[in-house]
Each structure stands twice: as structure tokens, then as C-alpha cells.
Structure 1
Amino acid sequence: MLVQSGILFLPYSHNEEDISVEDIAQTQKERLAHIDFRLYFLGSVGRNDLVKRFGIKEAAATRDLAQYRELKPGNIEYDTKAKLYKVTADFQPLFGYQPERVLAALSKGVGDDTVSAQKPFIPCETPSQLSNPDLDVLSVLTRAIYNKQVAQIEYRSVSSGFTTREVVPFYLVDNGLRWHIRAYDRRRNRFTDFVLTRVTRPKLLPDSPVEDHELSSEDIQWNRIVELEIVAHPQLDHKETIEADYGMENGVLPLKIRAAVAGYLLRRWNVDCTSKGALRGAEYHLWLKNRQALYGVDNLKIAPGIEQDPVQ
């Protein structure tokens, strides 16, 4: 068992013919875990990655990569052109990972590759996710994002059912309930979101070039920033309580967010988006004061009150 900064890495059990991870010094285990993480979720690793991460010499990094290759020869191959070690199609992770920690590391960079369970310093309870993405699916898509590649996926949609698509993913998105990828969809010729748990059998298409119109810089909804003014709901008797909850100044919580994720945020926080704060219910503590800022935003169907009171 490897402990790094209070976080546990749990090596998978090995067959008798495999070299045991338990026989390796802890400091090297940490470096092996970093190699494993980068291969699994980024698709490549180089000596310089280890030098920067751990402050070791290139010779030590070379030994670590050789040790990893000895432990898992089917996981890694050297690309002489790129001068990097690449993941193989037969990759099987050397360490066990938890989806929540992987997503936290990928999205926030917290602890980099420290992605396994950690005991809290005080008792702590957090809401459970009803579903988590398959890590083998996630790893292919994160490699596509990291290396700016096209991926082929099988996708199940509520509106169009089961389809096979080619996508150009460029961002992971957490809407508070589930994870998406933001990508260009070649089937519909537009940028959109794909729910990770609806993706199956992804594979990279390294010989399919990304076209200029498929780049994230061409995604208008992604690059447009909307400035929202959130206030306490007008139907509340004690607005000052909500203003204190959210640290509002002069009764306003200003937010700058991407247009592509505006609907997710408004739904997650139950922000009443009707023109006069018409929604009733204990869940509505917030109201969008400047709803005109939403004009032209695409993903508003899920925002509370929009369907009964559209933005004109």
C-alpha cells in the first residue's frame, strides 16, 4: 500500500510471475503511480514529466520507466518520433483508482495523480453521485482532449437513441449532477455536450485530422462569457439571510460564466429565471435579476422558469 500526502494508492493484485509492487521503495512507488496515471488518463509520459514532478535526475527517471515497463510490459511502448512513452491498446492500470479522485485531479489539478481514497481529518459527509463514468471510457476521452485528437464513440441519447459518432472533445464539464465532455459533433456539425455515462466503446482516430472549424476557439457558446446578477428571491420575507449565505454585496452576487454552462448553473442552484420572480416553492431562494443577459444562450431549456417565460 502506497501513501502519499495521506492518500492511498492500492496496487492491483498480480499473478505469481509478476514482480511485486510491495517490494519497491515507497518513493519509487509514488513515481510509478505518476507514470501509471499519465499513461491511463493522458496517454503518454516522458522522463521530463518525472523530473519536473519529483525533482529527480534524468537517469533516475529512466530507471523508473524501465521498472514500470518490467512490472507492466504490455502497458507501455516508446515512440521514437515523439520521444515519449505511449499507452498501448492492451493497457491495464497498475494501481486502483476511484472516479471522484480521478475527476478531481483532472479538473482541478489537486494532488496531480493522487487519486485514491483519503480519510478526512474530521467526520465529513458529502452527497453521493448516482452514477460515475467508466474509467476506461473516461481515459480514452481525456487522452483525446489532452492530445487534441478525434475520437469515435457509441452514444445513447434520450432524443436520438443509439448512434455512432466522431467527436472532437476539448473540455470536461461538471454540471453538479454528472460529467460531460464539450466537443464538436461531426454527425450534427455543431458543438455540443455528451454525458460521459452514455458513452461506450470510445477509440482514438489518430489518422483523422482536426479541422479548423472543429477547434474550441470556434465554439461561440463556449467562448462567450455572460455576466449574471443573482439576488435573493423577491418572494422571501428575510432576503438578508440569503444575501449572507452567498456573500452578496449590495444585495447582488455577480457571476461571469461561459454561455455553454449557464443553464447547468441556474438549474443546479434553482435560480428563478422568470421575469418577475414568479416561481413558488421552498427551493427557490435565488432570482436572476438581469435575465436579458441570457439572450442568445443555447442551453437554457433546463433553467428554472425559462420554458414558461422565455427570454425575448
Structure 2
Amino acid sequence: MKWFGFLRLADHASKFGISDVQAKIDIKTYRYLSATPPPERKPGPAAAGDLGPGTYLRPDPFTPVFDAHGSMDDLWLTRFPDARPDEPLSLEVLTPPEHRIEPDEVRALLAATELRVSCRLKYQSMTSTGASERIVCPHAVVKASGRYHVRAFDFSRKRFIDFSLSRVLSSHSLPDHAPVPSTLDDDWQNMIGVEFVPHPRLSATQRSTIAREYGMQQGLSIITVRRAMLFYLLDEMRLLKAVKQQNKDLADVPVWVKNSKHVAAELASMESET
């Protein structure tokens, strides 16, 4: 109702796998709790484009019983995957190649992350030609840049680094091996604010549109991330190369990092520690 301005009984029943009778009871309960109950479209002749009976329209004004900031991602997850095949709404999903993760290969690693213990990995990095064995102590699972990573202390390198789950070939628990507290991971504990602004090359009206698109306040949006996640944030925003080289012209997106010198210095500092 937030996005389309109406709720159909059939959609509610389809989404939750319940009967039309139960769906009607649910909606009746909601309407009873609502200070502005959505009226139901009564049976009768329907004009072209009319939603027909069994549809509840969003009144104006309308005060939701359960209100929260919504996004298109919320709509995608709660509505589109369960769209009925007889609906006119067209839905296309672009599926990129998958970073495949085998449960049998990462099970011990994920368990070690949950239990805060160490484990042995067979891992294939992209900086070496062959796989190597690592003893690690993981403390967090991260999804970034389209992949799942585990943040862990690597005993051979004596530092905290990220391991891509899709590149783990096997893992085995080492409960007797001394763990390393996550509080020692400074890059994980320390936070950095990244100041996004509309790109300076845009016109005034374009900058205004981008500020609205990214939810900026007075032309500025500050995203606070863990220092360890800074690389991934800039990578996902397609600004990594431009910020590293301090060259606005390399940014192929309509935003820029206002405090780019500070952010570039943080990136350089982390790279020097590797």
C-alpha cells in the first residue's frame, strides 16, 4: 500500500500462503486497529483500469499502524518474488554469475566464527598460484562487493585480514588452538565517516537531483563504516580508483567524496600495513 496505493486480498493470501478467508480476517484486524482504515472496493461494474473488488485502497490522509522507512529493496523482497503469474506487472531479475560457496567447505569456518575459536583453512588467494593452508581465528562475516567474506586473524601473517568464503577449499575446527580476541582488530573497531556529495562537474539542477536520490541533507551524506570496510564501500560506489589517485575525473558515478584526501590517506595506511 505504501508503494502502489492499494492492497489486494489475493496478493496477501499468496504472499503468506493462506486462504482468502484467513487473509480477509487479517485485513479486517488491521482495519480495526487503524485510525484511517483502508476502504474496500465493493463489488460492482468496474471501469477500465479499475482494481475491482477485493482491493483495499489507501485513504488520504493515511496513518499506517506499522510504519517504518521503506525502500525499493523492501518492496522487492516482500512483494515482487511472490507476484502471481496472472498479474500484468512485469518483473525482470538480472542474475550475475554467482560466487559459489559450498557448505561442506566452509561449515567449520562459520562455526568457528560463531564460537570464537580457531580453525585451519585450505585457501586459494589471487596473489599466489597455489592453495595454501592457514590457521585463522574468525570473528565476523561480511557481505560486500557482491561476495561474502570472513574477517579473521591470520596466524601466519600475524594480522587481521579478509577471506572470501567462495575461495575456501576446506576448513577444519581447531578448538584447542588459542583464539585471538576481536577487540585487537583495530581496523574493525575504528570507524571512519565518508562524506558523499554530488559530483562537482554536475549542473546545479543535476546536483539537486543527485542529492535527493542519495538522501543527502544540504547536499551531504555521511556514511560511517568500519575502517576495515572502507575499501569495499568505495569499491561498491565505483570510486575506489578515483579516490586513491585523487582524480575526480576517474569517477564514473555522479557523486564524489568530499573528504577524499583523508579517506585516501586511510586506504594508503592500511595498504602499507599489509
Alignment gaps of 5+ in structure 2: 1-14, 18-79, 84-88
SS across alignment from 2:248: coil
Amino acid in the other structure paired with 1:130? E
Amino acid in the other structure paired with 1:132? R
Alpha-carbon deviations, 1:68-98, whole Å to 9, x = none? xxxxxxxxxxxxxxxxxxxxxxxxxxxxxxx
SS across alignment from 1:296: helix
1:228/1:235 CA distance change after superposition, 3 Å: same
Amino acid in the other structure paired with 2:155? R
Deviation at 1:139, TM superposition (A): 2.3
* Matching residue within 242, 245, 256 for 1:287: 256
Alignment gaps of 5+ in structure 1: 8-117, 302-312
* Matching residue within 244, 250, 266 for 1:296: 266
Alpha-carbon deviations, 1:205-226, whole Å to 9, x = none? 112121xxx2110011111100
SS across alignment from 2:249: coil
1:159/1:274 CA distance change after superposition, 3 Å: closer
- Counterparts of 1:51-200 in structure 2 under 5 Å? 119-121=81-83, 123=91, 125-161=93-129, 162-200=131-169
SS across alignment from 1:263: helix
- Asked which structure has the greater CA Rg, the reply is 2
Q: TM-score, normalised by structure 2?
A: 0.60
Q: Distance in 2 between matches of 1:146 and 1:135?
A: 15
Aligned to 2:202: 236
1:159/1:176 CA distance change after superposition, 3 Å: closer
> Is residue 153 of structure 2 the alignment partner of residue 221 of structure 1?
no
Alpha-carbon deviations, 1:132-179, whole Å to 9, x = none? 211222322211011111110011112133210100011111113211
1:160/1:276 CA distance change after superposition, 3 Å: closer
Q: Distance in 1 between matches of 2:256 and 2:161?
A: 27
Aligned to 2:171: 202
Q: Distance in 2 between matches of 1:280 and 1:228?
A: 18
> Is residue 244 of structure 2 the alignment partner of residue 278 of structure 1?
no
Q: TM-score, normalised by structure 1?
A: 0.53
Q: Distance in 2 between matches of 1:163 and 1:274?
A: 30
Q: Distance in 2 between matches of 1:290 and 1:192?
A: 25
SS across alignment from 1:279: helix
Deviation at 1:239, TM superposition (A): 1.3
Deviation at 1:274, TM superposition (A): 6.0
Moved over 4 A (4+): 274-277, 298-301
Number of residues of Structure 1 aligned to a counterpart in Structure 2? 184
Amino acid in the other structure paired with 1:267? D
CA contact (8 A) 1:230 1:254 kept: yes
Deviation at 1:280, TM superposition (A): 4.2
Q: Distance in 2 between matches of 1:248 and 1:231?
A: 8
Q: Distance in 2 between matches of 1:273 and 1:300?
A: 14
1:263/1:284 CA distance change after superposition, 3 Å: same
Identity of aligned residues (%): 26
Deviation at 1:130, TM superposition (A): 2.8
Q: Distance in 2 between matches of 1:160 and 1:288?
A: 33
Amino acid in the other structure paired with 2:156? R
